[in-house]
Structure 1
């Protein structure tokens, strides 16, 4: 993955270097790396996200190396204020708003721990005005939420070992409690920084289904205050488009069709299962929870197959070999297809995380979405009975 990303980024650098070289207003982003990449395997990039919806992707516009003091520096275009991101060795990623702040960060760099775990650090941006204070504050809320998630997971494990039902039941609500706390803090920051164009960064922490009124009022305020802020207009359009797509995939509506090949090249999609009840299972070889669900799907398939149930497994693996290896290991007996270019189908069903299971009726209409385990069992019991 790193090698592929590096090749893409280098290609993009070649394409955009001429436009980047044009003179104009700039700000400076500097950083100091505590543990440098002495083998020079990994790059330090400046870039930004471009495109909308499922086409949105990170594009590098400049790269650099460390000087003798383990420091680096970028001149960042600021003629038109926008969000940028600095990536240090793929490990540390810092988002910022380029307009007037000359920012400095101190980052760890190469992970020197003997046991490496996925626990992104909190990186504080120095020399910031309110425009980047909002990003600092939002990132702190996200960081603390992540640490709380780890603590809740540990508590749930220990509670289970104790067999103390009161403790177990209390621990079960841990994730809900910390998520409520995160939402309260995020909304506080949005109200605090509502007149800053960079408050758009905080809006990413809200759900339009749950927080639509706050989202829309904040965006309308930004659009009125900053007529040039195309990012706010694009965000509003994205929300409105999602609202329209949500209506299209509401329970009772037709499941969006798609078609992807199996290992033999034969293409399958929801339309191929008309007259059968269907579970569409979006998964990937690298997704632990997806593979943990497969034994349960085998039980479901055995129980309901003769009653008219089929399953279509849609892998979102980008690497075909990984998909084939996982299929061989899991030994699933229902149709398996690989959606290498998965973003369009994920956008049509409006999900970003997997596993994501959809139950479809004999006419191709959606019965339930985002079900697994016990919730899948309940959905199927409504159809077939216990």
Structure 2
């Protein structure tokens, strides 16, 4: 009996010792910058996103400077595994799971191109185990999808110039084909890594309306396998809240109102267009797919403006100067406003990616959401019968 008690006591001490050993645990994140900021205008930050849902915001917790060989380093807290992000000069952003990997990255650094275009590069994390392998895979899928979006937009534009009806009709389905490919790759990755905590990173690409079963089964598996993984519990709570908000913006419901200034400082919002059919176009100067969609929106406007259609373009540019420059370049002939603080309106309409177009009826009720290209044409045909 005494021997058994001693054994239990020793086991308890070993467990306690192991618990204390985890306190103060860190991993190392290192990087090499190809083109350093020689003028020291931009920082290198370590941080994480805090808050819930659309209110999440990046918060820096440490900063670093380059050594003589253009290297930087962070010690990252890993007592409780979590997602962190390193930002290099605001140009390069690297998400990672801090648990047991000492990660290294090679980044470009300062954008040396004469014409700077927001097209984030793919950054591969070295020295990774399964959780950060997953993030590498998801980032590659996202990167290739973004390049495809640009390519499809350019091809749609060229098809229109050619007046080739077969090519034009084929390219109308370009984004749908691309979305189908993206969806298949993400779901394959989720199933491959479903037993890894960082699979939460891949779940961000899913929609609960379309992929609710896969989302919930993956989250339930995570919470059962890792009871300490509060991030999975929070994700499930966020989905349930989104379900409630989705009911509020279902087709036939009133479009959430908002108001932002135009170039002259006059505030405009959906309520100012009552009595007209309205397309609300959320976009930004830096968004390639948004700008690729503008020629098509111009065609829609030309075709239906005399039949009672108006458009309200809502830029989510954080810098009004960027918005004004792009607006002048695009020469859109309908009202334009700038939502410098866009989190609330994005939360109300439940979107995080742009372009995002919403069609509203004369009474301010939602007809369709998230339409563009062919789906926007179909929405217009339902309304105007043309």
Q: Same fold (TM over 0.5)?
A: yes
1:231–1:33 CA distance, 2 compared to 1 (3 A): same
Q: Secondary structure at the match of 2:243?
A: helix
Residue 109 of structure 2 corresponds to 109
> Please, what TM-score do these two structures have when normalized by structure 2?
0.78
Whether the 8 Å CA contact 1:33–1:71 is kept in 2: the answer is yes
Residue 365 of structure 1 corresponds to 365
How far the C-alpha of 1:55 sits from its partner, in A, is: 1.4
Query: Are 1:224 and 2:224 counterparts?
Result: yes
Q: Which moved more, 1:372-381 or 1:155-164?
A: 155-164
How far the C-alpha of 1:336 sits from its partner, in A, is: 4.8
Q: Equivalents in 2 of 1:183, 1:136: separation in Å?
A: 17
How far the C-alpha of 1:77 sits from its partner, in A, is: 1.0
Q: Name stretches of at least 5 consecutive residues in structure 2 with no aligned partner.
A: 1-22
Q: Secondary structure at the match of 1:206?
A: coil
Whether the 8 Å CA contact 1:284–1:290 is kept in 2: the answer is no
1:182–1:69 CA distance, 2 compared to 1 (3 A): same
How far the C-alpha of 1:222 sits from its partner, in A, is: 0.9
Q: Name stretches of at least 5 consecutive residues in structure 1 with no aligned partner.
A: 1-22
Residue 74 of structure 2 corresponds to 74
1:79–1:324 CA distance, 2 compared to 1 (3 A): same
Whether the 8 Å CA contact 2:301–2:311 is kept in 1: the answer is no
Q: Secondary structure at the match of 2:32?
A: strand
Residue 186 of structure 1 corresponds to 186
Q: Secondary structure at the match of 2:198?
A: helix
Q: Which moved more, 1:94-103 or 1:274-283?
A: 274-283
Q: Which moved more, 1:351-360 or 1:340-349?
A: 351-360
Residue 299 of structure 2 corresponds to 296
Query: Are 1:247 and 2:244 counterparts?
Result: no
Residue 95 of structure 2 corresponds to 95
1:368–1:66 CA distance, 2 compared to 1 (3 A): same
Question: For residues 261-276 of structure 1, what are the structure 2 equivalents within 5 Å?
Answer: 261-262=261-262, 267-276=267-276
Root-mean-square deviation (CA, aligned residues, Å) is: 3.6
Residue 209 of structure 2 corresponds to 209
Q: Equivalents in 2 of 1:101, 1:361: separation in Å?
A: 53
Q: Equivalents in 1 of 2:280, 2:183: separation in Å?
A: 31
Length, aligned pairs only: 361
Q: Equivalents in 1 of 2:143, 2:324: separation in Å?
A: 36
- Cα deviation, 1:315-350, whole Å, max 9, x if unaligned, reads 434344555666677777765544332221121112
Whether the 8 Å CA contact 1:26–1:77 is kept in 2: the answer is yes
- Cα deviation, 1:129-164, whole Å, max 9, x if unaligned, reads 222222122223334444555666677788889988
Query: Are 1:280 and 2:283 counterparts?
Result: no
1:256–1:198 CA distance, 2 compared to 1 (3 A): same
Query: Are 1:195 and 2:195 counterparts?
Result: yes
